[in-house]
Amino acid sequence: DTGVSQDPRHKITKRGQNVTFRCDPISEHNRLYWYRQTLGQGPEFLTYFQNEAQLEKSRLLSDRFSAERPKGSFSTLEIQRTEQGDSAMYLCASSWSLADTQYFGPGTRLTVL
Amino acid sequence: SQQGEEDPQALSIQEGENATMNCSYKTSINNLQWYRQNSGRGLVHLILIRSNEREKHSGRLRVTLDTSKKSSSLLITASRAADTASYFCATDGDDKIIFGKGTRLHILP
């Protein structure tokens, strides 16, 4: 399978705990995006990388959120001191460039108790 | 903020009928994409249409783009039960892809 993969698929955590998600993009893709999606809404942009450089962060991404893409390959999204409002589906996508199709992973569903 | 806005928010039709969804956006774009999402799943790319294109087809899907009206439509012909899903338009703006809230399509048997 050469698509975008995400791990874990589901995460249940207690409020205040830290969580980390991983995304493995399609190997040739330069761009990697993180989105958050809540029930009944479309995906909301969080941040994106061009190779290893993080080029933009949404104001939705508070100081508790951090993302990395070391060596321009896989990416991690960490949420510190989770809150119940962080409960959502976290989606990762990759593409060659802005002008090209974004391919999405299956998502990580986070539940904060 | 979400640039694309789909209409209607929800649509129920009989199997075999055609389904039309619309997307309006606010700023200039280079391309517009349509995605499908089955409940609780990731997004599946359907069609990308560039700003210099007016119409595009893929199987039972037909997408139109009117840049003067800043709108696009997705037509699904001869609908099937498996077409039941949420459909999103996504536009490129400010160097990122922005999604609308989606149209929830339900195909009735």
Q: Is there a contact between A42 and B100 if contact means CB atoms under 8 Å apart?
A: yes
Q: What pLDDT is attached to residue A61?
A: 83
Please confirm whether the linkage preceding A106 is cis (ω < 30° from 0): no
Total beta-carbon pairs less than 8 A apart between chain A and chain B: 60
Average pLDDT, chain B: 91
Q: What is the pLDDT of residues B36-81, one digit of tens each?
A: 999 878 899 999 999 999 999 999 999 999 999 999 999 999 999 9
Enumerate the β-bridge partners of residue A78: A20, A66
The Cα diameter of chain B in Å comes to: 42
> Which residues of A fall within a CB distance of 8 Å from B92?
98-99
Which two three-digit tokens encode residue A47? 């941040």
Q: Taking 60 as the threshold, does the pLDDT of residue A1 lie above it?
A: no
> Which residues of A fall within a CB distance of 8 Å from B45?
101-104
C-alpha to C-alpha distance for B22 and B80, rounded to whole angstroms: 19
> Which residues of B fall within a CB distance of 8 Å from A42?
2, 4, 88, 99-102
Q: Taking 70 as the threshold, does the pLDDT of residue A14 lie above it?
A: yes
Residue B52 CB contacts under 8 Å (≥ 6 apart), including other chains = none
Least Cα distance to B24 among B64, B79, B59, B84 occurs for B64
